[in-house]
Amino acid sequence: MTPAGVAPEALSEFLDAHAIETVVCALPDIWGRLVGKRLTRRSFERTVRGEALNGSVYLFCVDMDMDPQPGYAVTDWARGFQDCRFLPDLSTLRLVPWLERTAFVLCDAANETTGELLDIAPRTLLKRQIARAEAIGLRFKCATELEFFLFDDSFAEAWEKKYDGLRPVSRYRADYHVFQSAMDEGFISAARRQLLEAGVEVEFSKAEWGLGQQEINLRYADTLEMADQHALYKTFMKELAGLAGKSLTFMAKPWFAEVGSSCHIHMSLWSADGTPAGWSDRHPAHLSPRFDHFLGGLTSATADMMVCYAPTVNAYKRLQPDSFAPTAIAVGLDNRTASYRLVGHGPSYRVENRVPGADANPYLALAGMIAAGLVGIEAKMPAPAPYDGNAYLEESFDRVPASLAAATRLFRASGVAKNAFGEAAHTHLVNFFEREVAAYEASVGDWERLRYFERI
């Protein structure tokens, strides 16, 4: 693997060694998309030396179509959608081997006047939750498992078809099948190799249960690094698919009759000195006191943080009984019917959050998990006893919110979310999700026309 990250004093040497002419400077927006600019080498070097690289704050206030939405405190039409600064994080600088003489660096968003990080930026939100945990001597190692559907249609062809009638790369269900997945290796093996060359540490790939569904897993890392790798992986995979004449989607539920795509998040607890902090021989479920309380907070605040795990209208259509996507807020020992699955042993002991879909913004999802867990630690909140049955059928469990509208109402009313994220970020996110719900409720789809047009 080509390692990512360059020290400032080694920047010129790195750019020379790889004949870099273009550096993509990007940051994650509220959706988790990477947005930014392509800089010439000379301009990038000036930026690293302190020259301002600006972009509009409107990037944090737009819908999926990049239309600026009202109701945000940070900016609006009256203030002209002022600029913020992009601050390159050289620890994320890496090559993009499929683009000629190109490197990529992630940035933080800062106030143009004060230089302070923007409260509303997802990368800032995650950094602040990490800092809260570090203040009590706690760190995390995380891994996000992303699934996607891969098609032989190009993105342009898929657009012309309105994303209907696409040709998945597999004709039958091929979960774990090495024969069928060999048919996909022309693209998937090239993707694994090029991701590694771009400093994204791939561990393995496999065919998944859905027609054309794939999974490429990344190695666990510290929390911020994992979020960065996740965001880069999604962008890079779409670039690679587009350049190969294929298309793919990270929608959580592209078709209701087909399985959804998840983003299971694995998280383990570590002490500040780098020793594992999750395992204990004294607990029936082998939870250390801190892990027990962390898991207690995680489960109790699931509904509060649901918009962080399921940020789109579509995400909630994935959460169906008997689908491997959870509906019950429960803990289980290696139990895939529970929302929170305990796996591993000793240093590898961890919780797998099975709620998020592939459409989750990794910065918000990880921030939500940490914030919820810290509430449990602060209140010494014990975790529920692990359940060893079919959690889909157990009526005593609370259920995850059934829609983005319901989840947004819970998030708006959540003192847990407001206290963890701060009033400015909390209010901003509430408006963001309320605008998305309103856009959906103002739309009329094919289902309604087919059902009502002639027969009502």
Q: Which of 88, 118, 148 is where one domain is finished?
A: 118
pLDDT at 91: 97
Q: Dump pLDDT digits (tens) for 92-119.
A: 999 999 999 999 999 999 999 999 999 9
Q: Which of 353, 368, 261 is nearest to 307 (CA)?
A: 368
Q: Residue with structure tokens 């001597």?
A: 137
Which residue has better confidence, 247 or 80?
Answer: 247
* Position 259 in a domain: yes
Range of the domain at 107: 8-118
pLDDT value, residue 351: 98
- Nearest Cα to Cα of residue 38 among 105, 115, 123, 117: 105
The answer to whether residue 304 is domain-embedded is yes
Q: Give the C-alpha distances (Å, rounded to integers) separating 116 from 86, 108, 121, 233, 385.
A: 11, 10, 11, 28, 43
Q: Are residues 390 and 273 in the same domain?
A: yes
Averaged over 217-239, what is the pLDDT?
Answer: 98
pLDDT-based confidence at 179, cuts 50/70/90? confident
Q: What is the pLDDT of residue 183?
A: 86
Point out which residues pair with 107 in neighbouring strands: 88
Give the residue-averaged pLDDT of 192-198: 97
Band (437; pLDDT cuts 50, 70, 90): very high
pLDDT at 212 over 90: yes
In a domain, 286, yes or no: yes
pLDDT band, very low/low/confident/very high, at 182 (cuts 50, 70, 90): confident
**pLDDT (mean) for 418-422:** 98
Position 315 pLDDT exceeds 90: yes
Residue finishing a domain among 69, 98, 118:
118
Q: Is 123 part of a structural domain of the chain?
A: no
Q: Is residue 326 part of a domain?
A: yes
- Give the model's pLDDT for residue 174: 83
User: Which residues face 100 on adjacent strands?
Assistant: none
Residue 452 lies in a domain: no
- Tell me, yes or no, whether 134 lies in a domain: yes
Secondary structure letter of residue 404 according to DSSP: H
Q: Are 236 and 111 found together in one domain? A: no
Are 189 and 89 in the same domain?
no
Please report the DSSP string for 342-386 in residue order: EE--GGG-EEEE---BTT--HHHHHHHHHHHHHHHHHHT-PPPPP
Q: What is the pTM of this model?
A: 0.97
d(CA 92, CA 52): 19
* Together in a domain, 245 and 380: yes
Per-residue pLDDT, averaged over 340-361, amounts to 97
| Total structural domains within the chain | 2
Provide the percentage of residues in the chain whose pLDDT is more than 90: 94
Q: Would you give the DSSP letter of residue 209? A: S
Indicate whether 337 pLDDT > 90: yes
pLDDT level of residue 1 (50, 70, 90 thresholds) = confident
Task: Say if residue 194 is in the same domain as residue 327.
Answer: yes
State which amino acid sits at residue 402.
A
Domain identity same for 353 and 419: yes
Q: Are 262 and 336 in contact (CB under 8 A)?
A: no
Residues 206 and 335 in one domain: yes
In this structure, the answer to whether residues 138 and 100 fall within a common structural domain is no
- Beta strand pairing call for 331-333 and 340-343: parallel
The domain that contains 56 carries what CATH number?
A: 3.10.20.70
Res 175: pLDDT: 86
Q: Cα separation of 387 and 280, whole Å?
A: 19
CA 265, CA 226: separation in Å to the nearest integer?
10
Q: What is the pLDDT of residues 440-456, one digit of tens each?
A: 999 999 999 999 989 99
108 and 157 co-located in one domain? no
Whether residues 209 and 352 share a domain: the answer is yes
| Integer Cα distance of 276 and 344 in angstroms | 12
CATH number, position 229: 3.30.590.10
Q: Is residue 415 part of a domain?
A: yes
pLDDT of residue 3: 78
Q: What is the mean pLDDT of residues 196-219?
A: 95
Please tell me whether residues 223 and 360 are part of one structural domain. Answer: yes
- Check residue 257 and give its pLDDT: 92
Contacts of 62 (CB under 8 A, 6+ apart): 29, 68, 69
Among residues 95, 118, 141, which one ends one of the domains? 118
- Give the angle 394-354-106 at the CA atoms, nearest 5°: 160
**pLDDT band (50, 70, 90) for residue 4:** confident
Shared domain check, 341 and 263: yes
Contacts of 240 (CB under 8 A, 6+ apart): 98, 187, 190, 191, 194
Task: Indicate whether 233 pLDDT > 80.
Answer: yes
The per-residue pLDDT for 190 is 97
